[in-house]
Chains A and B, each alone.
Chain A
């Protein structure tokens, strides 16, 4: 549903969703998620001048070197799918070789102004007299995605490009790039709406200033300081009537975005654009490096959803379990209660909002007769079936998640061992370290590993001792193989990893035939490690939070010593502390959600 505060049209949202799912004729993903995210960033920052020029300088030789083909661009970008660095080099190389052969046989110069193209280390280099331009091979995926997006709005663009660039010179290419830029500028007026978001920004800014003023007057409450959990909650409670802040999730993330923009001091950055071909030269956004600043914001990076693809380390549900921690990773220690509230209450609120929408459409639907349709009945049932999860439950789910992630990491290590990669040892040690720290369910799942916590700890300690003794740093795979034979601790760890792999039926892990490129397992390892650090960090924050409520000391130190909370008393205290906080929040949220969405408790 489009709200007034939505800054992007539904069509533009659909465009980018489609781009992310685009597959080539062989069924492989054509544009990486990073590419699409980058393209989205260029579009929202209205920083597409250089993209237009690069695209034109890419299309120009494809057309000129394929003079006999009327479908040069279609063939290059879609049939051959020359849309990543390696396939691009192969395709351009073939075109240049064909052109050289044709030139030799005809003794003629086929291009205007004696222009020349050649492949260099960076990419496709154009030179004619003093005019030079290089299309970097690493940018080709982005440029191809850019062209794909443009074609969804300008249906005749392929023909227009061919008509304007064929037989052209560099001036003609620049001119066409400027025209393209102007078309995009006009297009985005319809699809990027700033007014509502500017209003939102000013509302938040105004509210926060007033809030801080009040805090300063009542010094006993809190000093004028920072945004915190109490401020987030107060903001949400007081903004219930404001469009765009009905959801707690929206209020929280919008406030974080606001905070981030204040934090970034743009005068520390020295931004230069290599080429500036803006038609609107007075546009300050282009001058102030908005694209680079957005890159520094947390919305721009960290997409680990590839962990749900091949090689599949996590299911979508498992990834979703930690998605809020990933989204708030920079502020885990600042807003722990808001993150817990988000996890527990946001799903319920989403169901309530959906139920309201279904009720509205049921009322609008003639002949309904006031009877709830099946979708509404289902959502009612969902509310009853899945009551709000207490904070202690989320904390426990994180512990279980760690066990799942550690197992996935073990499988990655096992694959790297099979592939005889020297990084397999480091991966294995990290996986075991995380496994030892994780929930006990890792070891009670005896069908998977058949090893106890103490045995694994002992094997790990022996391995570390051996490596230290031998001052073994960055061993080659041959050295690793020798170590496996010499050190029974390492042998045990390797066995454990292979056992975990043998039980793994997920894509990319089932058998040696299904293994994909090594880099994907390395990337998965890095991503999972990062996620484990973040979840561990957040658990520490939860434990500190619980201790502020509980009268007994925090159990954190005991967790570090033993690798898990195996002291039942401390575990119960932790849960008690978290549950007490949850009960207080439940009262607040129950009241607030009823105000916004009506009675949902069946009263």
Chain B
């Protein structure tokens, strides 16, 4: 039941009632659903994308990351903290020179032409340090997060056997360009689960 109110309130109480009204209204707005169509991501989304990049949700998140500089910077930081190892930009005479091999502290990557089909290339991953702990963490394979020209791409290797894994790709594909480009920054990440 609404109460009788005097026509005049003390200044202080009136100010407080006004503040209470404003806070209540703002809280009501924050509780509304479906009110915004902003494309925004939380930190949790970046971690999800880094840990489960094969999922459809992660692919959608990556599209958003690729359109936003601030998110990309934050995502790089997340990958740096989660990756098993990374390989930064390589030194080369010019950016037009492609690289068929790169070495980092814990892995190396080699691009080897398919002797049977010249349009295809083997991508060979070799882990330099692998023990039973490492092998078990890579039970479901590994992901290579590739950053070139402000765009992330993800490449999946099956589970390494005795420290090596390989995959066949098309030489004319964008993937080959990214894997062989000296400016590509690579982050190696174990696949979390199937």
What is the interface of chain A, defined by CB distance below 8 A to chain B? 6-8, 10-20, 22-25, 30, 37, 40-41, 43-45, 70-71, 74, 78-79, 148, 151-152, 155-156, 158-159, 192, 194, 197-198, 200-202, 209, 212-213, 224-228, 253-254, 257-264, 266-267, 284-285, 288, 290, 293-294, 297, 299-300, 303, 331, 333-334
Alpha-carbon gap, A84 to B48, bound state (A): 19
Alpha-carbon gap, A159 to B43, bound state (A): 13
Alpha-carbon gap, A456 to B88, bound state (A): 74
Known contacts A209-B7, A212-B7, A226-B4; decide if A7 and B73 are in contact (CB<8 Å): no
Known contacts A7-B26, A14-B40, A200-B25; decide if A263 and B20 are in contact (CB<8 Å): no
Answer whether residue B70 sits at the interface, using C-beta atoms and an 8 A cutoff: yes
Q: A7-B26, A213-B7, A266-B20 are in contact. List 11 more A-B contacts (CB 8 A).
A: A13-B30, A22-B44, A44-B27, A70-B81, A155-B73, A194-B22, A226-B1, A257-B21, A261-B21, A290-B16, A294-B27
Alpha-carbon gap, A288 to B10, bound state (A): 15
User: Which among B24, B43, B74, B81 is the interface contact of A297 at CB below 8 angstroms?
Assistant: B24
Contact B74–A155 (Cβ < 8 Å): yes
B-side contacts of A262, CB under 8 Å: 3, 5, 17
Contact A79–B51 (Cβ < 8 Å): yes
Taking the nearest CB of chain B, how far is it from the CB of A249, in angstroms? 11
Known contacts A14-B40, A288-B16; decide if A197 and B25 are in contact (CB<8 Å): yes
Contact B30–A16 (Cβ < 8 Å): yes
Contact B25–A264 (Cβ < 8 Å): no
Please give me the residue from chain B that is nearest to A69 by CB atom. B81
Please give me the residue from chain B that is nearest to A262 by CB atom. B5
Contact A148–B20 (Cβ < 8 Å): no
Contact A266–B21 (Cβ < 8 Å): no
Alpha-carbon gap, A132 to B17, bound state (A): 36
B-side contacts of A6, CB under 8 Å: 29
Q: 3 nearest interchain CB pairs?
A: A226-B2, A71-B81, A151-B43
Interface residues of B in 81-131 (CB under 8 A from A): 81-82
Contact B40–A15 (Cβ < 8 Å): yes
Contact B7–A148 (Cβ < 8 Å): no
Alpha-carbon gap, A213 to B5, bound state (A): 12
Contact A225–B48 (Cβ < 8 Å): no
Contact B29–A78 (Cβ < 8 Å): no
Taking the nearest CB of chain B, how far is it from the CB of A35, in angstroms? 13
Contact A258–B23 (Cβ < 8 Å): no
Alpha-carbon gap, A261 to B26, bound state (A): 14
A-side contacts of B19, CB under 8 Å: 284-285, 288, 290
Contact A14–B36 (Cβ < 8 Å): yes
User: Which among B34, B40, B47 is the interface contact of A152 at CB below 8 angstroms?
Assistant: B40
Taking the nearest CB of chain B, how far is it from the CB of A299, in angstroms? 5
Taking the nearest CB of chain B, how far is it from the CB of A519, in angstroms? 24
A-side contacts of B82, CB under 8 Å: 71, 74, 79
User: Which among A78, A200, A300 is the interface contact of B47 at CB below 8 angstroms?
Assistant: A78
Contact B31–A299 (Cβ < 8 Å): yes
Contact B32–A13 (Cβ < 8 Å): yes
A-side contacts of B36, CB under 8 Å: 10-11, 13-14, 17
Known contacts A226-B3, A261-B20, A334-B2; decide if A159 and B30 are in contact (CB<8 Å): no
Taking the nearest CB of chain A, how far is it from the CB of B127, in angstroms? 20
Contact B81–A263 (Cβ < 8 Å): no
User: Which among B17, B22, B31 is the interface contact of A40 at CB below 8 angstroms?
Assistant: B31
Known contacts A40-B31, A148-B42; decide if A25 and B24 are in contact (CB<8 Å): no
User: Which among A16, A17, A25 is the interface contact of B192 at CB below 8 angstroms?
Assistant: A25
Alpha-carbon gap, A7 to B25, bound state (A): 7
Contact A257–B5 (Cβ < 8 Å): no
Known contacts A16-B30, A44-B26; decide if A294 and B20 are in contact (CB<8 Å): yes
Please give me the residue from chain A that is nearest to B17 by CB atom. A261
Known contacts A78-B47, A159-B77, A288-B16; decide if A254 and B30 are in contact (CB<8 Å): no
Contact B30–A227 (Cβ < 8 Å): no
User: Can you identify 22 A-B contacts, CB atoms within 8 angstroms?
Assistant: A7-B25, A8-B30, A11-B38, A13-B30, A15-B40, A22-B42, A41-B27, A70-B81, A74-B82, A152-B43, A158-B77, A200-B21, A201-B21, A224-B4, A226-B3, A228-B2, A253-B28, A262-B3, A266-B16, A267-B13, A288-B19, A294-B24
